Structure 1
Amino acid sequence: MRLILTILLLVALPTVASPTIQPGEYLTEGGWGTLKIKPGKNKQLTFVLDAIGANAHSCNLEGEIINGRATLEAEEEGKACVVGFKPKGDDLEVADRSEGYCRYYCGMRASFEGLYIMPAAGCTLAGVRKARKAFKQAYDKKAYADAEAHLSPLLNNCNKTLNWLEEGWIRNDLALAQYKSRNLLACRETLQALADDAAKTDAELREDYPPTDAESYLPIMRATRTNLKLCKGNQ
């Protein structure tokens, strides 16, 4: 009787479905990787993955996901790049499941492996572009409070998945709107995260960053130095 009861209990236990990969846009923390997943043919999913590493080296992969994996050609004949996609809550863990054969799709200083996060509302690539466009339209009309209202949510809500260079430009744009509104304290606080690097010379920054990264970062730092002076007012 005990054996029969045990079997009945096991049969009665609810089965827990394995988490499934959801279509959508995923971003890495720091915004260095973007993963877009869409429904494909035969109920399969297709993906496009772009990742950026140091000195503008990048990874670019795309294909079809079957049973949580995508199999792509590799440089070595007879081998394949296998990309694994593992759901973790609303996010996806992406990894090379082929002993490094996916390096074929990456530059020397780039990698695509890591946790890809479902971004917060308004924080997709399109959402950020939309907010920045609305900011510029309001700023050009000298509606500085409206301009600030469009941009500040990006730093408050999207900071986790913003690319470091884009964050730098957003901080400078927001600081200018705050300066125009004569909110100098908020202006300085917005730029505080960039202040240490802004205090360095261009030559020092070139020593700290790979060449291509430095060339992209220097215009942000030059803008930050100017805006920090504006935000000090008559102090």
Structure 2
Amino acid sequence: MRASSPRWLAACALAATLQAGAAPVDYGTERGWGQLTLDRAARTFAISTVGANAHTCELQGRLSGAKLNEGTADSCRITLTEGRDGRIAVAAMPATEESCREFCGMRAYFDGDYLPLPAACRPDALRQQHARGLADYRAKRFDAALHAWGAGLTACERLMDHFGVWRWRNDMAIAAHRLGRHADCVQWSRAVLDEAAPSTFAPTDADTAAPLLKAARFNLGQCRAALSPR
């Protein structure tokens, strides 16, 4: 894979008027493969994505004007178009699409729709939420742990990558098992395995998936056994 080093690009301005003094806004893709940060005051953007086999794209650049389809640097031109629901559609312009590939690994891309991230779904907030659940679990406050993980997953699942979703489901399953909620444990463990079943993983992705699927199978066995009549 070609190494991806951040470079400054020029990009088109958004269709909406840029507001001076506005704080940077974080966006994310459905299934969590991409992140976009827009700083309208500084007129900058940053895009980071992860594709199959941990290949990445990294772009950093400047908003260059008030019209769409403006901006160029290093022979790469992109557009950022704001939709009515606040999402940003990012695309490489056809004439320079090949030049833009130098910012990405072989199996990564940055074109797509980026949705405004709720505060609870930003990466740092999710890490803190998961850590709170883990602290409660280790202190045997299993109800609190299950609540923390369940709240995070309910709010942010569609914006998380599938490995993250599987990790949180596994944690919820084992907390439910500790609470005697074995049917819930079975449900969440089964959901991980069912979602993974049709997937064919690239080598690096397989390494990430393996312990998650092993944990789901273990949890499923434990909770099915607890439900079996004796």
- For 2:33 and 2:227, how far apart are their aligned partners in 1? 39
- Aligned with 2:82 (options 63, 82, 87): 87
CA RMSD of aligned residues (A): 2.1
Post-superposition offset of 1:81: 0.9
- For 1:128 and 1:49, how far apart are their aligned partners in 2? 19
Count of residue pairs brought into register by the alignment: 203
- For 2:106 and 2:164, how far apart are their aligned partners in 1? 23
Taking the TM superposition and a 5 Å limit, the aligned residue runs for 1:80-229 are 80-88=75-83, 89-97=85-93, 98-100=95-97, 101-196=99-194, 208-229=200-221
Equivalent position amino acid for 1:51 in 2: T
Q: Is the 8 A contact 2:190 2:216 kept in 1?
A: no
Q: TM-score, normalised by structure 2?
A: 0.81
Larger radius of gyration: 1
Unaligned runs of 5+ in 2: 1-14
Unaligned runs of 5+ in 1: 1-17, 74-79
Q: Which has the higher contact order (CA 8 A, sep 6+)?
A: 2
| Higher mean C-alpha displacement, 209-218 vs 61-70 | 61-70
> Residues 81 and 190 of structure 1: is their aligned pair in 2 closer, same or farther, counting only changes over 3 Å?
same
Q: Is the 8 A contact 1:81 1:102 kept in 2?
A: yes
Per-residue CA distance 1:162-221 (angstroms, 9 max, x = gap):
0111111111111111111111111122223222367x7xxx97xx21111111111111
Equivalent position amino acid for 2:26 in 1: E
Taking the TM superposition and a 5 Å limit, the aligned residue runs for 1:20-31 are 20=17, 23-31=24-32
Match in the other structure for 1:54: 52
Equivalent position amino acid for 2:86 in 1: D
Q: TM-score, normalised by structure 1?
A: 0.80
- For 2:222 and 2:32, how far apart are their aligned partners in 1? 29
Q: Is the 8 A contact 1:185 1:231 kept in 2?
A: yes
- For 1:96 and 1:142, how far apart are their aligned partners in 2? 50
SS in 2 for 1:90: coil
- For 1:99 and 1:109, how far apart are their aligned partners in 2? 18
Per-residue CA distance 1:145-176 (angstroms, 9 max, x = gap):
00111110222121110011111111111111
